[in-house]
Structure 1
Amino acid sequence: MSKEEKMVGEKRRDFLLKWLKDSNEPITGSQMASRASVSRQVIVGDMALLKAKDEPIISTSQGYVYFSQSQSDHMIERTIACFHLPKDTERELNLLVDHGVYVKNVIIDHPIYGEFTASLHISNRKEVERFIKDVGHSKASLLSELTDGIHLHTISAQSEDLLDEAEAALKEEGFLVNEA
């Protein structure tokens, strides 16, 4: 397809869905918009329509990801309670991914609005670096800043041992909430 040829409606969504399913990396809305010769806003609408059809598309800080159940079937999941200053976010995430852990999300319990969950989907240092850069460029606050550094992460790995080792590394750094 030539770059000038604009894809329309269902044909475009079918193309985007296949691209997401075939990709091993997140795809940004800008990349999709460029390939389909439409605006970024059209892509946002397309992703909403596909999600409404129960397609497991996840919006992450790195782009859109198609998350099939088979990817998570062999993973063991755990939720951990963390505390640190914003400047320590990169260190925390790198400790997790360096231990073979996938960081699914961040969760806070806001005193007024209740629970907020944001998808992260971070599994390596490159993704950590991209997330930290995106936070810096956007000048947005981290969710944990709304709760004075206290937050949860849903993490997963291929074994309990990997999760245990990652937690031990976080504890050594003082990043885990004490169970006093």
Structure 2
Amino acid sequence: MTGKERRDYILTELMESDTPISASNFAKRLQVSRQVIVNDVALLRANNHVIEATNKGYIIRQSAMVERVLKMQHTDADIEKELNTIVDLGGYVKDIFVYHKAYHIVHAPLNIASRLDVKKYLDNLKCGKSISLMTVTSGYHYHTICAETDERLDEIQEALSKLGYLAKLQEYEPVEF
């Protein structure tokens, strides 16, 4: 079985399941290591599949998600609090992008749905010579946030506003809210 076939199988099984499926369960079924499954799920997330990690395994929520782009501004020290606030309120951080006057829009998928995803993201930033994308624009950046309802997105936006993380959109920015 190729990697693509394996990922297609994982995606199909998750879409058809009402309960979480563990990486170990997938590994046993597909006769690969648990780490191969973890990597496959990461690749699926990078391709914009909303797969949540729970303490019982992976799941795809079947309800339709709504999304909103929020402009943010804060320091690297605030990244963990920002992302945990979003996921704690039931949000999913689809991506990050910046608007740079010279490079225009620079975009990267994040696919963060849990505190564990936040930890992994921060660990990846710490373990290399990379810096956060928002650093190139003095902390200004955008996230596409997904949630089950507009009301949930309103709660997330209000919490981020109270933390002082929301920034005002400038006229030259090609982003609609």
TM-score by length of 1: 0.67
Q: Which of 53, 60, 65 pairs up with 2:44?
A: 65
Contact 1:104 1:153 in 2 (8 A): yes
Asked if 2 retains the 8 angstrom alpha-carbon contact of 1:20 and 1:64, the reply is: no
Distance, in Å, in 2 between the alignment partners of 1:98 and 1:124 is 8
Over the aligned positions, Cα root-mean-square deviation in angstroms equals 3.2
Alignment partner, residue 4 of structure 1: none
Pick from 1, 9, 13: which aligns with 1:18?
Answer: 9
For residues 72 and 78 of structure 1, the distance between their equivalents in structure 2, rounded to whole angstroms, comes to: 19
Residue aligned with 1:65, SS: helix
The amino acid of 1:149's aligned partner reads G
CA distance in 1, matches of 2:90, 2:148: 8
The change in CA–CA distance for 1:15 and 1:63 in structure 2 (over 3 A counts) is closer
Overall identity of the aligned pairs, in %? 28
CA distance in structure 2 between the partners assigned to 1:120 and 1:19 by the alignment: 20
Larger Rg: 1
> How many residues are aligned here?
143
CA distance, structure 2, for counterparts of residue 120 and residue 111 of structure 1: 23
TM-fit CA distance, 1:16 = 4.2
Partner residue in 2 for 1:133: 123
SS in structure 2 at match of 1:165: helix
- CA distance in 1: counterparts of 2:141 and 2:150, whole angstroms: 21
> Structure 2-normalised TM-score?
0.68
Query: CA 1:143 to 1:129, structure 2 compared with 1: closer, same or farther past 3 Å?
Result: same
**1:87 equivalenced with 2:66 (yes/no):** no
What do the CA deviations read for 1:112-169 (whole angstroms, capped 9, x no partner)? 1110111001111111111111111123111100000000100111111111111111
Q: Which runs of 5+ in 1 are unaligned?
A: 1-6, 37-42, 44-58
**Does 1:103 find its partner at 2:93?**
yes
C-alpha distance in 2 between matches for 1:12 and 1:120: 21
Tell me the distance in 2 between the aligned counterparts of 1:83 and 1:72.
Answer: 32
In 2, the alpha carbon distance for the partners of 1:71 and 1:111 equals 37
Are 1:152 and 2:152 an aligned pair? no
Q: Distance in 2 between matches of 1:12 and 1:176?
A: 40
Amino acid corresponding to residue 88 of structure 2 in structure 1: D
What is the rounded CA distance, in whole Å, between the counterparts of 1:16 and 1:142 in structure 2? Answer: 28
